[in-house]
Structure 1
Amino acid sequence: MLGEPTRSRVAERRSSTIAEIVDAAWEVARTHGIGGLTLRDVARKVGMRPPSLYSYFDSKDALYDAMFAQGCREFLEAHASVRLTGETVADLKTVMRFFVGFCTENTVRYQLLFQRVVPGFEPSKESFALSEEGLRKVVTLLQSSGVTDARALDLLTAIGTGLADQQISNDPGGSRWIGLTDDAIEMFYAYVQQHMKGEPE
C-alpha cells in the first residue's frame, strides 16, 4: 500500500547479526573473562571469519561499547520494575538491594559497567549517557530527602560497589555481603543526615 514505510531486509539482517555478535561476545567473556575477549573467539562463536567481523565492529573497543550500552539498557529496564514507597530509608534499601543483586548476578557485566578492567576502553558518549541516566535516578532519590551534597552520592556508590565486590570475590553465589545491605544503608543515612544534609562547605 502506498504511504507505508518499507522494511529494509538488509538493515534487519545486519541488526540481527550485530545482536548475535554481542551475545556471542558475552559468552566468550563469561568463559575467558571480560579482559580476555578476542575478536577471533567471537567470530568463531558466530561462525564468521575474523576479518568479516570488522564490517560490523571496526575494533574490539567498538564491540565493548556495544556490550556496555546493552548492559546499561538492561540495568535501566530492570530498575524500572523497582517499586518505591516514598519513604527515603526504605527506598534506599530497595534500590541498593536491587543494585547489588544486579551486579552479582552477572560478574562480567558488572566488571564492564562498573570497573575499569579493560585497559584503555572508554564508553562512547552515547553509551555513557545511558549509564548517567541510571545514576540520575539515585540523585533524584537523595535530593527528594534534602540531600544535595555530591559527596553523599560518592559515598553511596562506594558502598554499593564495595558490597558487590566483596560478595563476588569472597562469597560468589552466596549472600554474606548482600545481607549487609540494609545495615549499610542505615549507617549511610544516619551519617549523611548528620554530616552531608546540604551542600558541602
Structure 2
Amino acid sequence: MLGEPTRDRRAERHERTKAEILDAAWDVARADGLAGLTLRDVARKVGMRPPSVYSYFASKHAIYDAMYAQGCREFLGRVSRLDLTGDALTDLRAGARMFLDFCVEDPARYQLMFQRTIPGFEPSTESYALAVEGLESLRAELVKIGITAPNALDMLTALTTGLADQQISNDPGGDRWLKLLDEAMEMFLAHMNTRTRRKVR
C-alpha cells in the first residue's frame, strides 16, 4: 500500500474552482454578452472577491482563453460523433448540420470561437491548436467524400458561418437560414464536382 499515489486534494479543489469560475463566466457572457463579461460579475457569481479570481486565472483574457479551449473541445467531441454514410451529399449535409447547430445553439460561444469580438484577445498557442485540430478533422472528412480542392474547407466554412451569422443576427430561435442548409450543400457539392471535372479534362 505504501507505493500507491495519494490524491492531491488541494489540486483537485483548485481545478473544481477553476471549472466553477469558467461556468460562471459563460453564464455572464450569455446574459450580458462576451464584451460585458467582468471579473467582478464572475467573482460575485461564485461567491468570491474579484482579486481572488486571479489565483485561478491571470487575467480576463486568460478566462476567455479557457472558454475558447473548452468550446474547441466541445466541437471536437461533436466531430468525433459524426455518423457518416459514404454518400457525399448525405455526409456533407450531416457535417454542416452538426456545425450549424453547434454555432446557433450558443451565440456567445460562436462569437468567441468564430468572430473577433473581444478587442486584443487572441487564443493561446495551445488553445488555437485545438481549433486547428477541428479544422483538420473537417478537411479529412471532405477528402473521404472526394472533395480535395485546396480552398474547399474555406468555402465550406464561409457558407456555414454565413448561415450561422444570419440565423443568430436576424432570426434567433427561428430557422429561416437553417432551412437553407441542404440547398447550400447541394450547391457546394455541385460546384466542387464541376471543378474536379474541369481539372480531369
- Coarse TM-score class (shorter-chain normalised): over 0.9
TM-score (norm 2): 0.94
Indicate how the Cα distance of structure 1 residues 170 and 56 shifts in structure 2: closer, same or farther if over 3 A, else same: same
Aligned residue for 2:43? 43
Aligned residue for 1:61? 61
Q: What one-letter code is carried by the residue in structure 2 that aligns with 1:79? A: V
Deviation at 1:61, TM superposition (A): 0.7
Indicate how the Cα distance of structure 1 residues 80 and 144 shifts in structure 2: closer, same or farther if over 3 A, else same: closer
Q: In the comparison of the two structures, how many residue pairs are matched?
A: 199
Deviation at 1:155, TM superposition (A): 0.6
Query: Where do residues 81-100 of structure 1 align in structure 2 (5 Å cutoff)?
Result: 81-100=81-100
Question: 5+ unaligned residues in a row in structure 1: which ranges?
Answer: none
Q: What one-letter code is carried by the residue in structure 1 that aligns with 2:76? A: L
Identity %: 61
Deviation at 1:81, TM superposition (A): 2.1
Aligned residue for 2:77? 77
Question: 5+ unaligned residues in a row in structure 2: which ranges?
Answer: none
What is the distance in 2 between the residues matched to 1:14 and 1:38? Answer: 21
Aligned residue for 2:177? 177
Q: Does 1:111 align with 2:111?
A: yes
What is the distance in 1 between the residues matched to 2:192 and 2:10? Answer: 54
Deviation at 1:79, TM superposition (A): 2.5
User: What is the root-mean-square deviation of aligned Cα atoms in Å?
Assistant: 1.5
C-alpha offsets along residues 95-149 of structure 1, whole Å, 9 cap, x if unaligned?
A: 0001001110011011001111111111111111111111112101222233322
Indicate how the Cα distance of structure 1 residues 190 and 5 shifts in structure 2: closer, same or farther if over 3 A, else same: same
